[in-house]
């Protein structure tokens, strides 16, 4: 069994059998992995909070060729993101981000740039700087990094250039359709050209600048419907955390505490 050491973020963590914990983590060099930490359910002394959801850690373990689950022997904590855990909205957004990554990545298939993006988003949420606009930027970037790449710069049908002010997004075709093609083929989700341009910019913005990219409320709202529909259709998974997050975003469930309700 070859040993491994990898910097990672815990994407899912649950009690497993009588004494163990089953965790899913995304590691820089190894991509998403699932593993069992023996005795971790009872022995918090050995693992502490290091296997909690969203913890940034260095995971040590063994990988058996052909086995689905790795053995997790230890995890050294780099960041616990206490600020994220103290607020309902920040925590809900961080859980949503973790679920999004867990859903659109394949096991043992590392995606260059994905861990730095995840860490940056968690840092911003931890500092109370992550509004809903940050989620749109994250979503646009992750879809690109994971290879789904929605077509936003040209018509998916005729490859022609796009003219605003409003265009259609065809979820099944994976991109924007021009007015002429929409007339022939039927339209899709109608969005403003500004939203398409904003999402196109969002996926290209550097990590050092993502907190400065301000999306308009319209782009945040239209982008939410568009990107979640794209994810559900192309990734083929329903996001479980989305109903709770949407209830918070729409104010159906009130939020309390510091740095919450930040939008934009
Ligand atoms: Zn066209």
What does the pLDDT look like over 172-195, one tens digit per residue? Answer: 999 999 988 998 988 889 999 999
User: Cβ(98)–Cβ(66) under 8 Å?
Assistant: no
Please tell me whether residue 37 adopts helix, strand or coil conformation. strand
Q: Identify the pLDDT of residue 48.
A: 78
Cα of 183 from ligand 1 centre, angstroms: 9
pLDDT at 6 over 80: yes
Distance (angstroms) between ligand 1 centre and the Cα of 178 equals 4
pLDDT at 84 over 80: yes
Dist. CA 153 → ligand 1 center (Å): 11
- CA pair distance 39, 201, nearest whole angstrom: 46
**What is the percent of the chain where pLDDT is above 90?**
74
pLDDT at 66: 87
CA of residue 165 to ligand 1 center, whole Å: 15
Q: CA separation (Å) from 63 to 16, 17, 30, 40, 108? A: 19, 20, 11, 18, 11
The confidence score (pLDDT) of residue 258 equals 44
Q: What is the pTM (predicted TM-score) of this model? A: 0.91
Please check the confidence at residue 263 and state whether its pLDDT lies above 70.
Answer: no
CA of 191 to the centre of ligand 1 (A): 16
Measured in Å, residue 212 CA sits from the centre of ligand 1 at: 33
In the predicted model, is pLDDT for residue 41 greater than 80? no
> Count of residues for the chain?
264
The Cα–Cα gap between 108 and 254 comes to 39
pLDDT at 130 over 90: no
State the pLDDT at residue 1.
61
Bridge-based pairing of strands 3-16 and 56-62 is antiparallel
Mean pLDDT of 79-94: 94
Tell me: pLDDT of 227 over 80: yes
β-pair type (3-16, 31-37): unpaired
Residue 44's pLDDT band, with cuts at 50, 70 and 90, is low
What pLDDT score does 185 carry?
85
């Amino acid at each position: 069994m070859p040993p491994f050491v990898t910097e990672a973020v815990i994407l899912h963590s649950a009690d497993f059998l009588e004494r163990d914990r089953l965790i899913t983590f995304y590691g820089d060099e190894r991509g998403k992995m699932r593993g069992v930490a023996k005795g971790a359910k009872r022995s918090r002394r050995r693992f502490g909070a290091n296997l909690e959801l969203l913890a940034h850690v260095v995971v040590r373990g063994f990988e058996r060729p052909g086995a689905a689950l790795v053995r997790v022997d230890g995890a050294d904590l780099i960041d616990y993101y206490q600020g994220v855990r103290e607020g309902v909205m920040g925590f809900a957004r961080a859980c949503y981000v973790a679920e999004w990554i867990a859903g659109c990545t394949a096991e043992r298939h590392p995606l260059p740039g994905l861990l730095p993006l995840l860490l940056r988003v968690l840092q911003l949420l931890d500092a109370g700087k992550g509004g809903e606009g940050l989620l749109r930027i994250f979503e646009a970037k992750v879809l690109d990094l994971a290879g789904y790449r929605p077509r936003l710069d040209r018509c998916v049908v005729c490859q022609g250039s796009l003219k605003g002010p409003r265009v259609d997004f065809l979820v099944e075709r994976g991109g924007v359709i021009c007015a002429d093609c929409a007339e022939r083929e039927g339209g899709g989700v109608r969005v403003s050209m500004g939203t398409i341009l904003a999402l196109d910019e969002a996926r290209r913005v550097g990590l050092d600048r993502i907190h400065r990219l301000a999306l308009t409320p319209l782009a945040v709202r239209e982008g939410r419907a568009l990107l979640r529909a794209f994810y559900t259709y192309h990734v083929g998974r329903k996001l479980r955390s989305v109903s709770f997050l949407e209830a918070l975003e729409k104010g159906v469930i009130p939020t309390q505490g510091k740095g919450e309700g930040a939008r934009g």
